[in-house]
């Protein structure tokens, strides 16, 4: 296994790597970093949570630090394209950590936050610009910034760009960059099918393809567990799991916004410290909630699939599918929030009568049957009935005493 010490990184970057606790490279980093640091273009296929963000950020920093080109106002030197605002924010956070000892300036632009504030910041000296295609094109057409000085291009989660219909926007931006032989480019994707490779050949300089375990859909350090349960009993089972499991930080997925809201309210009423993120929550508030989850002050986060991509939080010990996802790929993206960068994790799914029909497709997609476990019978003892019996017994006793 390659170590970061063996890569002979510049001092400022080495300090950033040490600050985040990286010592050994993950498989994608082992394959991609030597090529990228040698100046090659890389098209990488890797699972979510495999450490691919560091695989492109580190060589990006090295390239910019070694370049003598000055940073001009409104002319970023590196462009990182992400399909979602959550992923853009996550890349910015990672860049702040890994590049914290460099003097490289970083900015993320995306929808849902102060439009004017982002525009003003973009007109300043920005070394690394991270953003979603829509907001980037909006500012570009207004002449807020230019792309003529870009030395490094990164397209992250290219497969998601296609799935979300961003390919036209993506090509609009890429065609306005300097020629491919005058910049270094990286493309990362969960799959490198014909469409992703066609994009890389069109806009990259003879990219070297790096694929890590393409035959394995899920991370091997995730322990998968399945519980079959009636819908009306799901919350009791969840509460039992929260009391039984040795967890540090838990991400719970619901298929609907209304379901996530109801589940969060129940958890709070039972004394758990929990909050939720969904597409209907204001972006500023969503980012504050995610920040608390990252810091560890919020131990339980309930989310819809808006968080299944682009949410990278170290130390998520458990992912719980309170609802079985209806799309097999969503299962992989959800459980990819745990067991990140070589750590171990646990994925627990609760299959009720509403969503159990999606289970076969998920198991076919991941290539194995999810092991089934059964809870204690006491989990489903009707609490109301137990309480009523206790009250009845107390009433009888008090009646006898009165006699």
pTM exceeding the 0.95 threshold for the entire prediction: no
- Among 224-228, 294-298, 377-381, whose mean pLDDT is lowest? 377-381
Q: pLDDT per residue over 82-91, tens digit each?
A: 998 878 888 9
pLDDT, residue 33, reads 96
The mean pLDDT of the chain is 86
SS3 of the chain: CCEHHHHCCCHHHHHHHHHCCCCECCHHHHHHHHHHHCCCCEEEECCCCCCHHHHHHHHHHHHHHHCCCCCEECECCEEEECCCHHHHHHHHHHHHHHCCCCCCCEEEECCCCCHHHHHHHHCCECCEEEECHHHHHHHHHCCCCCCCCCCEEEECCHHHHHHCCCHHHHHHHHCCCCCHHHCEEEEEECCCCHHHHHHHHHHCCCCEEEECCCCCCCCCCEEEEEEECCHHHHHHHHHHHHHHCCCCCEEEECCCHHHHHHHHHHHHHCCCCEEEECCCCCHHHHHHHHHHHHHCCCCEEEECHHHCCCCCCCCCCEEEECCCCCCHHHHHHHHCCCCHHHCCEEEEEEECCCCHHHHHHHHHHHCCCCCECCCCHHHHCCHHHHHHHHHHHHHHHHHHHHC
Please determine, for residue 154, whether its predicted confidence score (pLDDT) is greater than 80. yes
pLDDT, residue 391, reads 46
Please provide residue 320's backbone torsions phi and psi, each rounded to the nearest 5 degrees.
-115, 120
Q: pLDDT per residue over 311-365, tens digit each?
A: 667 788 899 999 999 888 788 878 888 866 557 789 999 999 999 999 999 999 8
- Percent of the chain topping pLDDT 90: 56
CATH number (3.40.50.11540, 3.30.1120.80, 3.40.50.300, 3.30.465.10) of 222-384 reads 3.40.50.300
Q: pLDDT per residue over 74-110, tens digit each?
A: 999 999 999 988 788 889 988 988 998 999 999 999 9
Domain 4-211 has CATH 2.40.10.10: no
What is d(CA 10, CA 64) in angstroms, rounded to the nearest whole number?
A: 12
Please determine, for residue 242, whether its predicted confidence score (pLDDT) is greater than 70. yes
Write out the residue limits of the CATH 3.40.50.300 domain(s) in the chain. Answer: 4-211, 222-384
């Amino acid at each position: 296994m390659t170590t970061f010490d063996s890569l002979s990184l510049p001092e400022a970057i080495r300090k950033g790597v040490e600050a985040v606790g990286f010592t050994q490279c993950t498989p994608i980093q082992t394959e991609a970093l030597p090529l990228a640091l040698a100046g090659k273009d890389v098209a990488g296929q890797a699972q979510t949570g495999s450490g691919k963000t560091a695989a492109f950020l580190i060589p990006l920093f090295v390239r910019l630090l070694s370049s003598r080109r000055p940073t001009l106002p409104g002319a970023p030197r590196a462009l990182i394209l992400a399909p979602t605002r959550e992923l853009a924010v996550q890349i910015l956070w990672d860049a702040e950590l890994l590049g914290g000892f460099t003097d490289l300036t970083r900015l993320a632009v995306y929808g849902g936050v102060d439009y004017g504030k982002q525009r003003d910041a973009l007109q300043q000296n920005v070394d690394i610009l991270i953003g979603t295609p829509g907001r980037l094109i909006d500012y570009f057409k207004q002449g807020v910034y230019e792309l003529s000085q870009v030395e490094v291009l990164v397209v992250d989660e290219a497969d998601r760009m296609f799935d979300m219909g961003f390919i036209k926007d993506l090509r609009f931006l890429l065609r306005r960059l300097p020629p491919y032989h005058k910049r270094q480019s990286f493309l990362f994707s969960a799959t490198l099918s014909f469409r992703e490779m066609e994009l890389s050949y069109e806009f990259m300089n003879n990219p070297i393809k790096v694929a890590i375990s393409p035959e394995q859909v899920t991370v091997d350090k995730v322990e998968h567990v399945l519980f079959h349960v009636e819908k009306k009993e799901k919350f009791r089972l969840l509460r039992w799991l929260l009391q039984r499991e040795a967890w540090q930080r838990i991400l719970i997925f619901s298929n609907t916004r209304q379901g996530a809201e109801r589940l969060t309210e129940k958890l709070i009423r039972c004394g758990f410290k929990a909050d939720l993120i969904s597409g209907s929550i204001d972006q500023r508030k969503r980012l504050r909630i995610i920040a608390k989850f990252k810091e560890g002050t919020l131990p339980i986060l309930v989310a819809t699939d808006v968080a299944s991509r682009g949410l990278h939080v170290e130390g998520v010990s458990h992912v719980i599918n309170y609802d079985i996802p209806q799309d097999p790929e969503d299962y992989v993206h959800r459980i990819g929030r745990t067991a990140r960068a070589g750590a171990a994790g646990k994925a627990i799914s609760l299959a009720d009568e509403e969503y159990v029909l999606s289970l076969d497709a998920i198991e076919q997609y991941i290539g194995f049957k999810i092991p089934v476990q059964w809870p204690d019978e006491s989990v489903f003892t009707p609490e109301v009935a137990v309480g009523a019996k206790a009250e009845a017994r107390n009433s009888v006793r008090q009646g006898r005493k009165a006699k």
